[in-house]
A and B are shown apart, each in its own frame.
Chain A
Amino acid sequence: DQQVKQNSPSLSVQEGRISILNCDYTNSMFDYFLWYKKYPAEGPTFLISISSIKDKNEDGRFTVFLNKSAKHLSLHIVPSQPGDSAVYFCAASRLIQGAQKLVFGQGTRLTINP
């Protein structure tokens, strides 16, 4: 039973255009939603998060949108740059006794073409 899903395994975008990565979840008990970026042979690095009580959070070129009624979130990157090429994971968080339990989606490989 996959609680967090990223249905697009890959996405290719022209440099300078907008990249939109999507994620769906099933459990309405999640507190926070996060996006992580991962390069090959490295651990994931935190990118941006959003509380379940908000619908938008922005940080520079990155914006995350949350639609709670649809149980859907998306990450917008604008403008896209070649260094953004990586695998992006969305994750949903529940706080259990002071520990942040994350449930990850399968990841979307983003390729930015020059």
Chain B
Amino acid sequence: NAGVTQTPKFQVLKTGQSMTLQCAQDMNHNSMYWYRQDPGMGLRLIYYSASEGTTDKGEVPNGYNVSRLNKREFSLRLESAAPSQTSVYFCASSVRVGGIANYEQYFGPGTRLTVT
């Protein structure tokens, strides 16, 4: 049971290049999320998918697109990378653990992206 896996672990891009960050979970969770973490800041939600076939914007969606390929996989795409997108990106999935609103999110190890 690998939990949440992310690839790649590290990536360096030049401004204007594109790339896709991959995320997969093997816990049969319905909801998945993409966050970014910048120095001195908490994690900020980029996009989320409440269930297979749906995606919605979070706090900081500009410059990103997502695809919920199936229940397991949720990818994040940068179409034209900018230096402001240099960050650590975390994928997560969630499951209800009891009570109406009591959920627990499980995070992947992160992708460290540098845009020069």
**A interface residues with partner B (beta carbon < 8 Å):** 4, 6, 9, 31-32, 41-46, 49, 51, 89, 91, 93, 95-107
Contact A98 B51 (CB under 8 A): yes
List chain B residues, Cβ under 8 A from A103.
Answer: 42, 45, 59
B58 at the interface (CB under 8 A from A): yes
Contact of A104 with B100 at beta-carbon distance under 8 Å, contacts A43-B109, A97-B50 already known: no
List the B side residues contacting A43 at CB < 8 Å.
4, 90, 92, 107-110
Closest to B30 in A: A98
What residues of A have a CB within 8 angstroms of the CB of B50 in the complex?
Answer: 96-99
A106-B110 Cα distance, complex, nearest whole Å: 17
Query: A-B contact count, CB below 8 Å?
Result: 78
Closest to A99 in B: B50
Which B residue sits closest to A9, measured CB to CB?
A: B40
Query: With A and B bound together, what is the CA distance between A51 and B98 in angstroms?
Result: 11
Q: Is the interface of A mostly helix, strand, loop or mixed?
A: strand
Partner of A51, one of B102, B104, B106, B109: B102
Q: Which of A6, A42, A45, A89 contacts B43 (CB 8 A)?
A: A89
* Residue among B41, B51, B102 facing the most chain A CB atoms (10 A cut-off): B102
Residues B42 and A89 in contact, CB atoms below 8 Å apart: yes
Please, could you name 8 A-B residue pairs with CB atoms under 8 Å apart, sorted by A?
Answer: A32-B102, A42-B109, A42-B110, A89-B43, A99-B33, A99-B50, A104-B44, A107-B42
